[in-house]
């Protein structure tokens, strides 16, 4: 569907029990060529067969067919990362709701160093609302990098088709969407599928070592956490007379809550995810928050806020003080701190200060390539299988919890948020009318 742009990934760089039994693996070439009788003879029931993923034969000459859904900057970049680390990977299918975005992405990819592994024929270039389904049909591993609203359905369809998945963050824009993804991730686990989240900091060695020291007690017991994600403004594509309201909103998806989840969910989820990681992914009990539109006062900015300030609290009283904003011309700050009884961990700076003094040495790895290294190792059976489903759902829901607390001006609990039935989906996916633009007003906007 719509493209998912790079956003602030350059800013990011600056500043489950998973078991993979060898009995569940099958050579894709054998799987594709075997008749039903031959498979039955191999003791594979029709029920089991439906659950089998498109497994990749672990040999040096087997192509891993990659499909891209969402041909914006982030999707295009994810393809490059995949090809950087796996010589057997080949891009064979692309899809986007807009043909011009697909064409631009393909042209850019053909100008990159891995152009020899961009093999997307005209028949494998899909546009329109259902383009994601066609891409999924024609690959072994699918990159889902569209506008966040569409991620739940895409993950469901990819899991149902038995495909390995790279899913960009966030994975939904409302609680029902998160619930759909959580259910799909559990089915992916049953099917032996690899599911890697675009919450890329978890794959950076410097962050891993820093969080390890938080978990091993180097800073003592956690007292408070603090994270900040203050950046400048982002892109806007304007409006054309020939666009319907739906096309206008989808092309400018960042500024509409139903599509992006607001910037606390689309961008600042990285900071929230690092704090959830530090807390061993235990969800907060509740959140109180404020926010609003100080700079984004024009109609073009849709219905999202330009700043949030949240206080998340866990059952044991530990609090996370979170703030984020997107103000052009203002100072930027991307930082995360975990304060303990023995010291402080500066997560973004990769250091511990206090009774234990430590700093990561060397240069951090490229987290965008690193997540793909581990994804391919998982797909090829070279490590325990990866399924990031639970934490990517929890971090997404935590960001939605913060947004909802700010929109309503109410303290919202995790249980209330988890059971929310507020579905932001439009009446129909077609070019024409679009969801009404209603800016949330604390004290007036109701929680549901």
Statement: residue 47 has pLDDT above 80? no
This model's pTM is above 0.95: no
Q: Three-state DSSP class for 371?
A: helix
* Spatial separation of the C-alpha atoms in residues 133 and 95, rounded to whole Å: 9
Which pLDDT belongs to residue 448? 87
Mean pLDDT (the chain) is 90
pLDDT digits (tens, 9 = 90+) for 256-269: 999 999 999 999 99
Which pLDDT belongs to residue 187? 98
Catalogue all structural domains in the chain, each as residue range(s) with its CATH number: 9-200+371-387 (3.40.50.720), 202-363+395-418 (3.30.360.10)
56 pLDDT tier (thresholds 50, 70, 90): low
* Spatial separation of the C-alpha atoms in residues 289 and 206, rounded to whole Å: 31
Which pLDDT belongs to residue 348? 97
Strand partners, 95: 69, 126
* Spatial separation of the C-alpha atoms in residues 188 and 183, rounded to whole Å: 9
Which pLDDT belongs to residue 241? 97
pLDDT digits (tens, 9 = 90+) for 433-446: 999 999 999 999 99
Q: Which DSSP helix (H) or strand (E) runs through 69?
A: strand 64-69
Q: What is the dihedral of CA 410, 148, 333, 343, to 10 degrees?
A: 70
Contact (CB, 8 A) for 83 and 91: yes
* pLDDT average, residue stretch 118-123: 98
55 pLDDT tier (thresholds 50, 70, 90): low
pLDDT digits (tens, 9 = 90+) for 322-355: 999 999 999 999 999 999 999 999 999 999 999 9
Cα angle 394, 399, 403 (rounded to 5 degrees) comes to 145
* Spatial separation of the C-alpha atoms in residues 182 and 340, rounded to whole Å: 32
* Spatial separation of the C-alpha atoms in residues 418 and 403, rounded to whole Å: 14
Q: Name the H helices within 219-366.
A: 245-251, 257-260, 263-266, 269-278
């Amino acid at each position: 569907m719509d493209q998912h742009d790079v956003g602030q990934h350059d800013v990011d760089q600056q500043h489950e029990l998973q078991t993979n039994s060898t009995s569940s693996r099958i050579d894709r070439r054998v799987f594709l060529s075997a008749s039903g009788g031959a498979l039955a003879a191999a003791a594979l029931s029709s029920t089991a067969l439906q659950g089998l993923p498109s497994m990749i034969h672990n040999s040096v000459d087997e192509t891993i067919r990659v499909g891209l859904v969402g041909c914006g900057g982030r999707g295009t970049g994810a393809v490059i990362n995949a090809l950087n680390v796996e010589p057997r990977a080949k891009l064979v299918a692309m899809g986007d709701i807009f043909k011009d975005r697909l064409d631009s992405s393909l042209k850019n990819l053909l100008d990159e160093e891995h152009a020899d592994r961009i093999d997307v024929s005209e028949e494998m270039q899909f546009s329109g609302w259902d383009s994601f389904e066609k891409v999924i049909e024609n690959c072994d591993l699918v990159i889902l990098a569209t506008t966040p609203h569409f991620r739940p359905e895409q993950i469901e369809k990819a899991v149902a088709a038995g495909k390995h998945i790279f899913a960009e963050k966030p994975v939904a824009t409302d609680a029902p969407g998160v619930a759909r993804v959580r259910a799909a991730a559990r089915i992916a686990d049953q099917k032996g599928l690899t599911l890697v989240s675009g919450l890329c900091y978890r794959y950076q060695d410097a962050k891993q070592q820093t969080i390890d020291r938080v978990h091993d007690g180097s800073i003592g017991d956690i007292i408070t956490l603090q994270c900040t994600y203050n950046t400048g403004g982002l892109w806007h594509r304007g409006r054309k007379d020939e666009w319907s309201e739906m096309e206008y909103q989808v092309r400018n998806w960042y500024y509409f809550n139903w599509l992006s989840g607001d910037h606390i969910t689309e961008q600042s989820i990285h900071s929230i995810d690092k704090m959830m990681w530090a807390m061993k992914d235990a969800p907060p009990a509740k959140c109180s928050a404020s926010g609003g539109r100080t700079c984004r006062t024009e109609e073009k900015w849709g219905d999202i806020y330009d700043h949030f300030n949240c206080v998340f609290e866990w059952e044991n009283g530990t609090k996370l003080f979170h703030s984020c904003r997107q103000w052009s011309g203002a100072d930027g700050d991307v930082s995360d701190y975990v304060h303990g009884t023995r010291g402080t961990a500066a997560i973004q700076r990769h250091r511990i200060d206090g009774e234990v003094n430590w700093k990561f040495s060397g240069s951090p790895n490229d987290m965008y390539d690193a997540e793909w290294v581990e994804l391919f190792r998982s797909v090829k059976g070279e490590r325990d299988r990866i399924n990031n489903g639970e934490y990517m759902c929890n971090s997404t829901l935590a960001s939605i919890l913060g947004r909802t607390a700010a929109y309503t001006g109410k303290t919202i609990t995790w249980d209330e948020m988890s059971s929310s039935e507020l579905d932001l989906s439009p009446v129909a996916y077609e070019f024409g009318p679009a969801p009404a633009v209603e800016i949330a007003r604390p004290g007036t906007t109701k929680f549901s």
